[in-house]
Chain A
Amino acid sequence: MLNRRDAIRGGLALTVAAAATGWAGAATASALTWTPTALTLDQAHLLEVVAELIIPATDTPGARAAGVPQFIDRALANYYDKAQVEQLVGGLTRMDADARAAHGSVFTALTSQQQVELLTTYEQEAITLRTQASSQKNHFFPVLEDMVTVGYFTSEPGATVALQYDPVPGAYHGCVPLAEIGRAWATR
Chain B
Amino acid sequence: MANLNGRARQENTYDAIVVGSGITGGWAAKELTQKGLKTLVLERGPMVRHLEDYPTATLDPWQTKYPQGQLPQEELAAHYPVQRRTNYTMTEYTKHFFVRDDQNPYVEENRFDWIRGYHVGGRSLTWGRQSYRHSPIDFEANAREGIGVDWPIRYEELAPWYDHVERFIGVSGQAEGLPQLPDGQYQPPMEMNCVEKAFKAKSEARFPERRITMGRTAHLTEPTEEQLSLGRTKCQYRNMCIRGCPFGGYYSSNSGGLVAAERTGNMVIRPGSIVTSLIYDEKAGKATGVRILDATTRQEEEFYADVVFLCASAFNSAWILMNSTSSRFPNGFGNGSDQLGRNVMDHHLGVGASGEAPEFADMYYSGRRPNGIYVPRFRNLGDAATKRSDYLRGFGYQGGASRPGWDRDLVKSGGDLTARGFGAARKATLSQPGPWIIGLGGFGEILPYEDNRITLNRDKTDEFGLPTLSMNVTIRENEIAMRRDMQTAAAEMLDAAGFRNVQGRDSGYSPGLGIHEMGTARMGRDPKTSVLNAHNQVHECKNVYVTDGAAMTSASCVNPSLTYMALTARAADHAVQARKRGDL
List the interface of chain A (C-beta within 8 A of B): 1-2, 4-5, 7-8, 14, 17-18, 21-23, 53-56, 58, 60, 71, 75, 78-81, 116, 119, 123, 126-127, 130, 138, 142-143, 145-147, 149-151, 153-156, 159, 162-163, 165-179, 181, 183-188
Contact = CB atoms under 8 A, between A and B. Distances in A.
A81 B66 CA distance: 13
A188 B402 contact: yes
A183 B417 contact: no
B88 to A, nearest CB: 13
B427 A162 contact: yes
A162 B425 contact: no
Given A4-B419, A142-B411, A153-B430, A188 B368 contact: yes
27 contacts: A5-B419, A7-B421, A21-B425, A53-B422, A55-B422, A75-B67, A78-B65, A79-B67, A79-B72, A81-B74, A142-B411, A149-B406, A149-B410, A153-B405, A154-B61, A154-B64, A156-B60, A163-B431, A167-B238, A169-B367, A169-B368, A172-B367, A174-B194, A178-B432, A179-B362, A184-B434, A186-B405
Interface stretch (B9-17, B18-26, B185-193): B185-193
Contacts of A147: 67
B427 A178 contact: no
Given A142-B411, A171-B237, A172-B190, A75 B366 contact: no
A179 to B, nearest CB: 7
Contact of A176 (B239, B363, B369, B432): B363
Nearest to A63: B427
Given A4-B421, A18-B423, A23-B423, A178 B363 contact: yes
B366 A173 contact: yes
B366 A172 contact: yes
B303 to A, nearest CB: 42
Contacts of A171: 237, 366-367
Given A123-B417, A146-B412, A173-B191, A154 B427 contact: no
A117 B362 CA distance: 35
Given A175-B194, A178-B363, A178-B433, A8 B74 contact: no
B236 A184 contact: no
Interface in B390-443: 402-403, 405-407, 409-412, 417-434
Interface residues of B, number: 60
A163 to B, nearest CB: 6
Residue of B366, B412, B428 ringed by the most chain A CB atoms within 10 A: B366
A5 to B, nearest CB: 5
B3 interface: no
A60 B197 CA distance: 35
Contact of B431 (A71, A79, A167, A183): A183
A163 B237 contact: no
B430 A8 contact: no
Contacts of A163: 405-406, 431
Nearest to B246: A168
A174 B365 contact: yes
Contacts of A55: 422-423, 426-427
Given A168-B236, A176-B363, A187-B61, A4 B420 contact: yes
B250 to A, nearest CB: 14
A28 to B, nearest CB: 16
Contacts of B74: 81
A54 B425 contact: no
A1 B365 contact: no
A154 B368 CA distance: 17
B386 interface: no
B299 interface: no
By Cβ-Cβ distance, the 5 closest A-B pairs, closest first, are A4-B421, A172-B367, A21-B424, A174-B193, A169-B367
Contact of A154 (B67, B366, B428): B67
A175 B237 contact: no
Interface in B181-210: 190-194, 196-197
Contact of A81 (B73, B364, B419): B73
Given A174-B194, A177-B362, A178-B362, A54 B423 contact: yes
A123 B239 CA distance: 36
A168 B234 CA distance: 12
Contact of A71 (B58, B67, B403, B419): B67
Nearest to A56: B424
A22 B363 contact: no
A4 B425 contact: yes
A184 B73 CA distance: 30
A176 B60 contact: no
A16 B203 CA distance: 47
Given A4-B426, A169-B236, A172-B369, A159 B61 contact: yes
B433 A2 contact: no
A89 B235 CA distance: 45
A123 B420 CA distance: 10
A183 B274 CA distance: 51
B248 to A, nearest CB: 14
Contacts of A162: 427, 431
Interface string B48-82: 00000000001011101111101011100000000
B238 A153 contact: no
Contacts of B364: 176-178, 181
A95 to B, nearest CB: 14
Interface string B349-379: 0000000000001111111110000000000
B418 to A, nearest CB: 5
A150 B68 contact: yes
Given A123-B421, A168-B236, 4 more contacts: A1-B425, A60-B427, A71-B67, A170-B236
Nearest to B361: A178
Contacts of B426: 4, 55
Contact of A168 (B66, B190, B238): B238
B58 A185 contact: no
B425 A17 contact: yes
Nearest to B64: A154
Contacts of A149: 406-407, 409-410, 430
B410 A150 contact: yes
A176 B417 contact: no
B66 A78 contact: yes
A150 B407 contact: yes
Contacts of A176: 363-366
Contacts of B433: 178, 184-185
Contacts of B368: 169, 172, 185, 187-188
Contacts of B410: 146, 149-150
Contacts of A146: 410-412
Nearest to B413: A146
